């Protein structure tokens, strides 16, 4: 059950307010001022078609409702039957959704629908794969703010669909004190004190530390979490031992499928991984169409 | 000179109209309703800093003006000196830009600036790499419409910065007749005829063909380009021979760094590759900051 | 059959994405912050009415779906029966649509609906009239980029409804090398070479020439189309002869209903006419309303 | 002094808030996702140019600041010297503005700038011409709500630049009771009473009447203005006599340059004319460019 | 019948165009990029609930349709039965609406719905209370332009629901000459003359005067209304006498529930009160929810 | 030092991205399609003026940069000297800012500037007053999500300027389990467990409890904060004793200036008060203008 953590696989209710605009923008980008001139020339408004969205490789699905919305933005009468929901695993050849309706809007919305679905499923799949590696351990996989500009909410959703958890959504929902902040403040303790006096009571504080000295200082200030940046495995294990439940521990920097297991084995609570969003390969999906001649 | 084809490495003049909104949206996404609570708590409005954007791995740069705009959106007084322009190649450790000014906006805009620059430079780098492979041949590398939703214009710009060329920007700027259209029309020739009678005189027609029979029919209709989809090398070479300058030839489907050279060696004009946009890994970049204490 | 060329008379499927915003903007412009104070004061929410959109002069219709959308933006329950579709010709007195429903939204949306329909039908009518004149010849009538700011997509649609064809939609979908570009490049041939090395394989090149020398140079560069600017009939005929199917020929400048026939008689492929968009008189239409008392 | 009535010829202060968005929308419409591919290919970022906006026919200018804003939206360093301001009359050959700066943005913004300036100057010119005809009389020329969707504020500004006055800007800033409202209310007097009890103390009431009986009833209700719709000259003169300063009188329907003088001679206060906005021909303007080689 | 003046209690028809955007903006503000994380965690998509909006204190309702729209923006299947309409008076404990449907969207939209409804009902209630005080007199209560930025149209609607009337909606729909304008013009009469020569025939003129001398000058210029600013009761009564139906009289400045009656007793036509919008306390409302377990 | 908690009194750096749109929307709302017709008629573009923003009553300032931005949105050349910054206390008669420049934009932006400044300063003042009452105790005053729709970020900023702290900004930045959620979950402990398994590691959990039993159950689940809803003083004191630093304690419901001291005296950490935002009276401010004749 890789989704057990903080997955919300039911994006549908938020679509009308949170994500309609992203779909609309993507469709406008593809349609330009003239629309789909190929389909308009060749396909009649009366032609109908049925189609399937199929997986061409194995992976984890995310964005099936966003894809639906791309079709329905052009024609609300299209029938769109979802066979695999977000968070489901698929094999090459599996059908994700059946589509039935006017052929024109199906063809015109195809690329927009697939672009969302491939991007998000690619992220979910990368997340799932790394989550599977750390599964024997207590550690959770979390994403970062390294996301495609303008698509963060959706990409973080895909991480959840992949079984991962979310770190901060933005600069405003938690304090993360980084090395640069520490330099300005003149020290870890002072930085933490400034932050604490500034924030509301529902805001947590995490501090990035590079070594065990900084860690001990940070822990004395009773912070919520500590980001252990680029530490060798040995030091990381020692850091986790020192933190000893006094703060959530997060490993960060250079985490790969090869070393993820041994990092998780240190007992660290979180593995923070940027590439599950910024460098995930798209999942290979296609729309197979059959005209109702 | 991998940029020689249709690279436009001077994005700056278009920024105010074409891309400001994308930067603004990305900043809003990161700032939320409260802004950068960590920096606001720890850094004083009077603190100043100097910083460098550096490459942590080798690659091709794209988006250096977009990154500048992220900083200037928060504070137009920040000095931003560009050392490596879009289309330049960098090595790990190279400095791309010097930044000098108020510390707060530099820290607050950092992630937004780097997210654009890493994404676009990643695409430029992947493009450059595959372009280098086909360099001995006449073939050009072109991208597809498989781009991150809402970011197509920027991603296609990055392809140009990488030395690649652009295919259609959207459904409206050229006709591309695909297999599905051919099925509806009842044949290649009929599909082409419908398209030709529908379009303006400055719109080109490209047709996707799966085999040599379709190719010959298409060529008889005097089309501008032919997309040779998923053909084995042998068939591809034969197709190029048949097309014989009567139409631009484009190879598509399953092109990898491994087979790109032999595909280009067939004499095909274009290699169309989706993964240079949809699956490019971000280029590893960082902001190194020194406070002026 | 003046619509036979590239008319797309079925705008409906694109409405939700491409044109809803234009209708919404127009309604907001008319409603202000207070709405229709006259109708709100005098008409009860329970009053119902039936109405007809009628032509007060003969012409060609364009925009009947846009008009429908204006009413439906205020009240989706209004019944709107379309009797004359875009591309249809009407006589004074003809009914274009029957409308039935709540009286308030019908009265409130009336002006917005008619403003779109009159503007677009005026363009379609002017286009139809000039198309009729060149009908004995092979030439097509094309529009320019001289359109009302923000309404280009709709105005170019109206040209198609009038039986005309569309030239470029914007600066980005084809190369059109004008006199100013030639001056900068230092000559026709150099300008063409710069353009060719810059563009993608699905982008066509058209060159504006003033005389036969420039024409011959341009043709040697194998361009797609040539714009013959302000040439006397004699020179135009000679230019068409020289071009001899090596490029599409387009006559431009000072084309009127009086000289359109003789220009078309030269065998030129296209007559490019700005005034069918920028100076077309609106078609006189009205809403006749009968209250169901 | 045709501008003496309610002309506001200084649009500049409102540009940043009221009209920037219209210019931005128009530029985006022309630039698409790729920008000006012709200019980008042929003109170097370093090339500079000087240019003049010239009139190719006589007319009245409106929109010279809007045109300036189109250039400055792309490049705020362009020098734009205004020689003829809004409300000025020009002859064929007159220079309206000198432009100096980078050649690329000048060429790229040219069409957008001219489209605004030609449209608005066309309206100002038509207005000026009809205003000149009624000049011997006290009557003022007013526009209607029959304007290009989304451009009403600018078109009504152009009417003022032409020496005309503005009628309502929208449905919300005054009450205009039309025939349809009277039918619903069951009579002129009842309609006026309903309106009066509904509106604020700074809202005026105008009533459309078709005959002298309706006029007398309306005047008894002490309205602010009366629209005399499609009345023969004789009846119109009688109506003006009856109204006798008890209400402002407005003639409407079928007003042409031929009959405007005799209509104005009746002593009517206003001539309301839709075609000065909805059917005005664009003023013929051009950008003459000289490269600084 | 406190609503008898210019109340429009049927906001529903304007919602789709005029107010949807305000509701959407408010929901986005509350949902951020992640949505309602509490409800998503605890409530299942299948859970249904019924709820009531109840008044916790007596007051006048405004915004019941806006509240409905907040729920329907998230889920159009929610049943929303309106028991008390805008303009209705309620007692503590009264139910305003019954809501039935999926529990998630009901809980998620609750605060947005109540924020609109409480704000607007608070304004309606304050207005009603002061209207009740002046009821024995002919005077009407009018609001000002002192409204929450971005919410003016809704707040002025709430004033109408409270039985008040609206003053200007903005700077553009009537002339209000204030002391500062008079200083610039060099006198009351000159200011009025400048305004009159500038405006259209459906625009009224009101002048602010501080003393009886200014009043007499203003009345000689035949203005529509006069704002009697901060006058002692005695002077106010004298001013009303002098105005003697030659202009609408409006009292302004320092009007409280204590002095409103005596001000109205002077015979003044309007009492203009800023605090009914800018300082009204929100009406205390709550959503009572019962889960259908 | 009432600002000592989490006040960020330097809003300026965030203005360009976070709040420009709110100011632009407010100006458009006031300007309509026609602009400030009174000022345009009476004041010449060449007239200059100096002005002061003055307080007419004592209070705490918030929004002085927003007010500046309103003027600068119309004319960036206006000189705006800030004398009292956000978080400063003022007396009646104090000058907040000196303004100097063209008279037209100063008069036109006046109301928009003051509407923001009065609204936010009113909230800051109410907050300051209640903060002063609880000052002898450790308790902090926090706001709620009961804010004017679309203005939450600014209103919460004003609370900080008043010396208060911020609660959640929206539904997405912390978990707040309310009575309704507990009913659905079937109990306090189950609701907490569901929330914990759903959220990221930087999200805090607060639980609303009505009695001491619920409190003890909640504390066993190791939550971050507990909202003690509508408890009598006695029970509240007992609850604080039980919580004993195991969770932050927040009193909520019916807090007034009268009882705030005794509530704070219980040792509770936070007093949560909705009326400091939803029912704060605007601070009385004015613009005094002197024309430079």
d(CA A117, CA A23): 11
**How would DSSP label each residue in B89-129?**
EE-TT-EEEEEEEEHHHHHHHHHHHHHHHHHHHHHHHHHHH
Quickly tell me which residue has 């066509």 as its tokens: C204
B32-67 as b/e: b if 16+ CB within 10 A: bbbbbbbbbbbbeeebebbbbbbbeeebbbbbbbbb
In angstroms, rounded to a whole number, what is the distance separating the alpha carbons of residues C38 and C50? 19
Write the secondary structure of A91-152 as one string of H (helix), E (strand) and C (coil).
CCCCEEEEEEEEHHHHHHHHHHHHHHHHHHHHHHHHHHHHHHHHCCCCCEEECCCCCCCCCH
**Is residue A173 annotated as part of the catalytic site, yes or no?**
no
| Active-site residue flag, E245 | no
Does the structure show a pLDDT above 60 at E167? yes
Tell me the CB-side half-sphere exposure of residue C244, using CA atoms within 13 A: 6
Across the range D97-115, mean pLDDT stands at 96
Q: Is F45 on the interface with E (CB under 8 A)?
A: no
C-beta separation of C266 from C240 below 8 A:
yes
Give me the residues paired with residue A251 across strands.
A228, A271
Q: What is the pLDDT of residues C134-149, one digit of tens each?
A: 999 999 999 999 999 9
Residue F179: name the closest of F136, F208, F201 by CA: F208
Nearest 10 degrees: Cα torsion D128, D130, D133, D139: -100
Q: For residue F253, what pLDDT band results from cuts at 50, 70 and 90?
A: very high
Name the phi and psi angles at F139, rounded to 5. -65, 145
CB F248 within 8 A of CB F224: yes
Mean pLDDT for the stretch of residues A116-121: 98
Token digits for B111? 């992630």
Rounded CA gap, C202 and B174, in Å? 6
List Cβ neighbours of E159 (8 Å cut-off, separation of 6 or more): E123, E124, E127, E141, E142, E143, E165, E166, E276, E277
Task: Name the residue facing B195 among A23, A38, A118 (closest C-beta).
Answer: A38
Assess whether pLDDT exceeds 80 at residue F182.
Answer: yes
Cα distances (angstroms) measured from residue E17 to each of D22, E85, E86, F187, F261 = 19, 21, 19, 43, 48
| Partners of residue B104 in chain F, C-beta under 8 Å | 13
Minimum distance, in Å, between the CA of residue B74 and any CA atom of chain F: 6
Look at residue C16 in the predicted model and tell me its pLDDT. 72
Asked if the Cβ–Cβ distance from D6 to E224 is below 8 Å, we say: no
The pTM of the full predicted model, rounded to 2 decimals, is 0.95
What pLDDT is stored for residue E14 in this prediction?
73
Q: What's chain A's average pLDDT? A: 93
- Could you report the average pLDDT of every consecutive run of 10 residues in chain C (293 residues)? 40 76 94 92 93 97 96 95 96 98 96 98 98 97 97 95 95 94 93 94 96 97 96 97 95 95 98 97 94 64
Angle formed at CA A206 by CA A202 and CA A210, multiple of 5 degrees: 175
Domain A16-129+280-292, second-level architecture: Alpha-Beta Complex (3.90)
- E72 and chain C: CB distance < 8 Å anywhere? no
> Distance from B62 to chain D by nearest Cα, in Å?
16
**Which residue in the set D33, D152, D176 is minimally distant from C172, CB to CB?**
D33
Chain B / chain D CB contacts < 8 angstroms: 39
Check CB contact of D204 with chain C, cutoff 8 Å: no
Distance, in Å, from the CA atom of B273 to the CA atom of A110, rounded to the nearest integer, reads: 18
Q: Tell me the three state secondary structure of residue B136.
A: coil
Residue F271: which pLDDT band, with cuts at 50, 70 and 90?
Answer: very high
How near does any CA of chain A get to the CA of B63, in Å? Answer: 13
Element (H, E) at A193: helix A188-198
Determine contact, residues D160/D8, Cβ cutoff 8 Å: yes
C51 vs C97: CA distance, rounded Å: 8
The pLDDT tens digits of the residues spanning B179-191 come to 999 988 999 999 9
Contacts of D103 in chain B (CB under 8 A): none
SS3 content of chain B, % helix, strand, coil (to 5): 45, 20, 35
For residue C160, the distance in angstroms to the closest alpha carbon of chain F comes to 33
Contact B35, B108 (CB under 8 A): yes
Q: How far is F107 from chain D (nearest CA, A)?
A: 12
Percent of chain B exceeding pLDDT 90 equals 87
Between CA B17 and CA C160 the distance in angstroms is 29
Residue E251: enclosing H or E segment and its boundaries? strand E248-252
How high is the pLDDT of residue A7? 41
Those of residues 11-40 in A touching chain D at CB distance below 8 A are: 29, 32-33
Rg (CA), chain A: 23
Q: Give the span between the Cα atoms of D24 and D17, in whole angstroms.
A: 12
Q: Are E178 and D237 in contact (CB under 8 A)?
A: no
How far CA E257 is from CA of A174, E126, E130, F278, in Å, comes to 47, 10, 6, 21
Q: Which of A65, A86, A110, A229 is catalytic?
A: A229
Q: What is the pLDDT of residue D5?
A: 38
Helices (H), chain D: 20-31, 37-42, 64-74, 103-134, 152-161, 179-185, 188-198, 212-220, 233-243, 257-264, 275-278
Give dist(CA E257, CA E83) in Å, integer.
Answer: 30
Mutating which of D34, D40, D45, D112 best tests the B interface, going by the most B Cβ atoms within 10 A?
D34
Q: Which two three-digit tokens encode residue D163?
A: 């020496």
What pLDDT shows up at residue E13? 66
pLDDT, residue A11, reads 65
Residues F30-41: what's their mean pLDDT? 92
Q: How many CB pairs under 8 A join A and F?
A: 78
Name every residue whose Cβ is closer than 8 Å to that of residue B293 and which is 6 or more positions away in sequence: none
* CB spacing of C198 vs B6 below 8 angstroms: yes
Count of CB atoms situated within 10 Å of the CB of C272: 22
Quote the CA–CA distance of B91 and F203 in Å, as a whole number.
39
Chain D residues touching C151 at Cβ < 8 A: 148-151
A-proximal residues of F, 136-195, CB under 8 Å = 140, 142, 165-169, 172-174, 176
D268 and D140 in contact (C-beta within 8 Å)?
no
Substitution target in C164, C176, C194, C201 with the highest count of B β-carbons within 10 Å is C201
How far the first Cα of chain B sits from its last, in Å, is 44
- Please check the confidence at residue E195 and state whether its pLDDT lies above 90: yes
**Residue of A27, A33, A34, A35 best to disrupt the D interface, most CBs of D under 10 A:** A33
CA-based nearest residue in chain E for residue A8? E40
CA distance between the termini of chain F: 43
B178 among known catalytic residues: yes
pLDDT bucket at B10, cuts 50 / 70 / 90: low
Tokens of E216: 């007499």
**Helical H segments across A212-293, by residue range:** 212-220, 233-243, 257-264, 275-278
**Distance, CA of A45 to CA of A102 (rounded, Å):** 7
Is the pLDDT confidence value at B107 over 80? yes
Burial of C76 (0-12, 13-18, 19+ CB in 10 A): exposed
Q: State the ipTM, two decimals.
A: 0.95
Q: What percent of chain A has pLDDT over 90?
A: 87
Q: b or e along D167-196 (b: 16 or more beta carbons within 10 Å of the residue's beta carbon)? A: bbbbbbbbbbbbebbbbbbeebbebbebbb
Query: How does C80-114 read in b/e, with b if 16+ C-beta sit within 10 Å?
Result: bebebbbbbebeeebebbebbbbbbbbbbbbbbbb
Task: Check if E229 is active-site.
Answer: yes
Strands A79-82 and F48-55, bridge-based pairing: unpaired
Q: Looking at residue F169, what DSSP letter applies?
A: S
Instruction: Grade residue B2 by pLDDT with cuts at 50, 70 and 90.
Output: very low
- Check C36, C88, C208, C250 and give the catalytic one: C208
Q: Judge contact between C26 and C70, C-beta under 8 A.
A: yes
Judged against a pLDDT cut of 80, whether residue A201 lies above it is answered with: yes
Q: Which residues contact D176 (CB under 8 A, 6 or more apart)?
A: C38, D168, D206, D207, D208, D227, E202
Judged by CB atoms closer than 8 Å, whether chains meet at B31 and F13 is answered as: no
F10 pLDDT more than 70 = no
Res E17: pLDDT = 80
| Bridge partners (DSSP) listed for residue D225 | D206, D248
Whether residue D293 is predicted with pLDDT greater than 80 in this model: the reply is no
- Tell me the backbone φ, ψ of residue E98, rounded to 5 degrees: -100, 135
Q: Are D248 and D204 in contact (CB under 8 A)?
A: no
The distance of D139 to chain E (nearest Cα, Å) reads 12
Q: Annotated catalytic residue: which of C145, C146, C194, C204?
A: C146
Q: In angstroms, rounded to a whole number, what is the distance separating the alpha carbons of residues C102 and D62?
A: 41
Query: Is the pLDDT reported for residue D94 higher than 60?
Result: yes
Percentage of residues in chain F with pLDDT exceeding 70?
A: 95
Query: Which of the following CATH numbers is that of domain C133-278: 3.30.43.10, 1.10.3720.10, 3.20.20.70, 3.40.50.1820?
Result: 3.20.20.70
**Distance between CA atoms of residues A276 and A270, nearest Å:** 14
Angle at D158 between CA D157 and CA D164, to 5 degrees: 90
- Which among A17, A153, A169 has the least Cβ separation from residue E73? A17
B204 is annotated as an active-site residue = no
Chain C positions touching A27 (Cβ under 8 A) are: 17
pLDDT confidence bin for A17, thresholds 50/70/90: confident
- Domain limits, chain A: 16-129+280-292, 133-278
Residue E203 per-residue DSSP state: B
Element (H, E) at C176: strand C175-177
**Which among F278, F232, F272, F233 is positioned nearest to F249, based on CA atoms?**
F272
8 Å CB contact between A283 and A42: no
3-state secondary structure of D275: helix
| Residue-level pLDDT at F6 | 38
For D195, the closest of C41, C122, C177 (CB atoms) is C41
Chain A partners within 8 Å of B180 (Cβ): 107, 289, 291
pLDDT of residue D7: 42
């Amino acid at each position: 059950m890789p989704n057990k953590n903080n997955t919300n696989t039911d994006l549908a209710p938020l679509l009308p307010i949170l994500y309609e605009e992203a779909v609309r923008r993507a469709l406008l980008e593809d349609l330009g001022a003239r629309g789909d001139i190929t389909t308009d020339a060749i396909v009649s408004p009366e032609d109908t078609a049925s189609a399937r969205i199929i997986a061409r490789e194995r992976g984890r699905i995310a964005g099936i409702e966003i894809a639906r919305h791309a079709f329905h933005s052009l024609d609300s009468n299209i029938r769109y039957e979802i066979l695999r929901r977000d968070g489901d695993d698929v094999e090459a050849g599996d059908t994700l959704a059946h589509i039935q309706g006017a052929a024109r809007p199906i063809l015109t919305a195809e690329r927009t629908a697939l672009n969302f679905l491939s991007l998000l499923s690619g992220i979910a799949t990368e997340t799932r794969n790394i989550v599977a590696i750390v599964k024997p351990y207590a550690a959770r996989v979390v994403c970062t703010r390294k996301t495609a500009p303008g698509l963060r909410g959706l990409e973080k959703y895909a991480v959840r669909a992949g079984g991962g958890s979310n770190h901060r959504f933005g600069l405003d929902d938690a304090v993360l004190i980084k090395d640069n902040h520490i330099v300005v403040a003149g020290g870890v303790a002072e930085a933490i004190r400034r932050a604490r006096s500034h924030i509301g009571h529902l805001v947590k504080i995490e501090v990035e530390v590079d070594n065990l000295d900084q860690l001990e200082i940070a822990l004395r200030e009773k912070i919520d979490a500590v980001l252990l940046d680029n530490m060798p495995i040995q030091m990381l294990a020692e850091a986790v031992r020192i933190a000893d439940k006094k703060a959530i521990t997060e490993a960060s920097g250079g985490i790969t499928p090869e070393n993820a297991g041994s990092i998780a084995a240190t007992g660290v609570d979180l593995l923070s991984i940027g590439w599950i969003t910024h460098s995930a390969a798209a999942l290979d999906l296609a729309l197979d169409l059959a005209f109702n001649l």
